[in-house]
């Protein structure tokens, strides 16, 4: 028995030395949770980045994508990342603000006016939150954008007074947005968005806000064919990895891996732009009406919506005054 044990120890030592000298250490597998349906364009982009990571690291780092929400909703994925059950996630602005609430400043309705402002904010302002994410145990690999959300309604709406008489559907997770809209006199009806079609049919609600591609994908526009051509807020998200996992990956790969993620974030945007443009074309063939606003009407809407910001900005609120004022300063300098 002693001889066998000695041979066993020699065998283990030999295996250990072989690993050291041959460099064949076990690969790091990064488990990434995604809300995108399997086989969708976004899912295909994630599969491409998984292949890129394997190529960049010569197989030392592999990515396994869990699509279609099988890793849980955003709160679940964040919790699993904290406990080491998941390594990375694709999150919307809702998920990002669970980790760092102040990032919601970019998603405040009426805050941003154009794609140029959004790009500037992503490049120049969002990186100021990087250390906050790291302090919470996460690292932002890239921010992504997927178009803008607009008001859709059963009847034509072009003024704040007209929307006040409507019943506005708000996702139950968007407490901040619900607070803002309630404060400016809108009749808010919180719900899960899988209930929206039935609620539109029953008349429980007659207004909602979303990106055009979602209005088509779920056929909501059939019951609310009017879209006010006024971008309420950008559809934002991010790809994050746990700081624990990022530190396990050799630093020599970090820059190239991040670049691969930034490419897929750009893919998300281009694919979303194509889908939103196609959605407008599809809706236009089926009774869709886009309500145009002049510059004066747009200014009235911005002033109207921004009145609600004060209820979510301030001490012990979702966004502190300093963050809000810094962002306003950035935008005013840009404008």
**How would you label 222-259 residue by residue, b for 16+ Cβ within 10 Å and e otherwise?**
bbbbbbbebbbbbbbbbbbbbbebbeebeeebeeebbe
Distance separating alpha carbons of residues 332 and 324, to the nearest angstrom = 12
Closest by alpha carbon to 98, among 69, 137, 67, 63? Answer: 137
Beta strand 187-191 with 167-171 is parallel
- Residue 14 burial by CB count (10 A; 0-12/13-18/19+): exposed, middle or buried? exposed
Mean pLDDT estimate for the chain: 88
- Give a yes or no: residue 275 inside a domain: yes
pLDDT (0 to 100) of residue 7: 39
Residue 264 has pLDDT above 60, yes or no: yes
**pLDDT band per the 50, 70, 90 thresholds, residue 2:** very low
Distance separating alpha carbons of residues 196 and 208, to the nearest angstrom = 9
**pLDDT band per the 50, 70, 90 thresholds, residue 25:** low
Residue 155 has pLDDT above 70, yes or no: yes
289, 224 contact by CB (below 8 A): no
Mean pLDDT of 216-229: 93
158, 291 contact by CB (below 8 A): yes
**pLDDT band per the 50, 70, 90 thresholds, residue 46:** very high
Mean pLDDT of 168-174: 86
pLDDT (0 to 100) of residue 4: 39
In three state form, how does the secondary structure of 87-103 look?
A: CEEEEEHHHHHHHCHHH
pLDDT (0 to 100) of residue 50: 94
252, 253, 254, 258: CA torsion to nearest 10:
150
Residue with tokens 């779920």, as numbered in its chain? 218
Distance separating alpha carbons of residues 270 and 261, to the nearest angstrom = 14
- Give a yes or no: residue 15 inside a domain: no
Residue with tokens 């009806």, as numbered in its chain? 189
CATH of the domain at 182: 3.40.190.170
- In tens, the pLDDT along 237-254 reads 999 999 999 999 999 999
Q: What's the distance, CA 208 to chain centroid? A: 19
- Give a yes or no: residue 10 inside a domain: no
Distance separating alpha carbons of residues 74 and 89, to the nearest angstrom = 8
- Give a yes or no: residue 317 inside a domain: yes
pLDDT (0 to 100) of residue 289: 93
Residue 36 has pLDDT above 80, yes or no: yes
The range of the structural domain enclosing residue 266 comes to 25-334
- In tens, the pLDDT along 275-312 reads 999 999 999 999 999 999 999 999 899 889 888 888 88
- Give a yes or no: residue 31 inside a domain: yes
pLDDT (0 to 100) of residue 208: 94
- In tens, the pLDDT along 112-153 reads 988 999 998 999 899 999 999 999 999 999 999 888 999 999
**How would you label 42-65 residue by residue, b for 16+ Cβ within 10 Å and e otherwise?**
bbebbbebbebbeebbeebbebeb
**Domain count of the chain?**
1
Q: Which of 97-111, 166-180, 199-213, 246-260 has the lowest mean pLDDT?
A: 166-180
Residue 219 has pLDDT above 80, yes or no: yes
- Give a yes or no: residue 144 inside a domain: yes
- Give a yes or no: residue 3 inside a domain: no
Residue 43 has pLDDT above 50, yes or no: yes
- Give a yes or no: residue 252 inside a domain: yes
Residue 267 has pLDDT above 90, yes or no: no
């Amino acid at each position: 028995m002693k001889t066998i044990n000695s041979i066993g120890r020699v065998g283990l030592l030999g295996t250990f030395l072989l690993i050291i000298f041959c460099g064949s250490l076990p690969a790091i597998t990064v488990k990434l949770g995604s809300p995108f349906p399997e086989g969708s364009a976004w899912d295909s982009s994630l599969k491409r980045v998984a292949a890129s990571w394997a190529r960049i690291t010569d197989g030392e780092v592999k990515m396994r994508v869990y699509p279609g929400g099988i890793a849980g909703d955003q709160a679940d994925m964040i919790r699993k990342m904290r406990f080491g059950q998941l390594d990375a996630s694709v999150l919307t602005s809702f998920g990002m603000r669970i980790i760092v609430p102040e990032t919601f400043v970019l998603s405040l309705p009426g805050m941003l006016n154009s794609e140029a402002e959004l790009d500037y904010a992503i490049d120049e302002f969002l990186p100021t939150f990087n250390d906050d994410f790291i302090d919470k145990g996460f690292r932002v690999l890239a921010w992504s954008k997927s178009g803008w959300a607009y008001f859709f309604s059963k009847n034509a709406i072009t003024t704040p007074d007209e929307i006040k008489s409507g019943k506005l559907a708000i996702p139950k997770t968007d407490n901040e947005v619900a607070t803002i809209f309630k404060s400016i006199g809108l009749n808010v009806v919180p719900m899960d968005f899988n209930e929206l079609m039935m609620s539109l049919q029953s008349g429980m609600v007659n207004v909602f806000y979303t990106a055009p591609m979602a209005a088509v994908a779920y056929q909501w526009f059939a019951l609310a064919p009017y879209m006010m051509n006024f971008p309420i807020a950008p559809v934002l998200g991010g790809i994050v990895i746990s700081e624990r996992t990022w530190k396990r990956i050799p630093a020599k790969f970090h820059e190239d891996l991040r670049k691969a993620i930034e490419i897929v974030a750009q893919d998300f945007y281009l694919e979303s732009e194509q889908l939103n443009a196609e959605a407008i074309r599809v809706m236009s063939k089926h009774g869709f009406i886009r309500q145009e606003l002049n510059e004066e009407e747009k200014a009235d809407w911005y002033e109207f919506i921004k009145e609600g910001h004060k209820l979510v900005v301030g001490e012990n609120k979702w966004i502190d005054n300093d963050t809000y004022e810094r962002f306003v300063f950035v935008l005013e300098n840009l404008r």
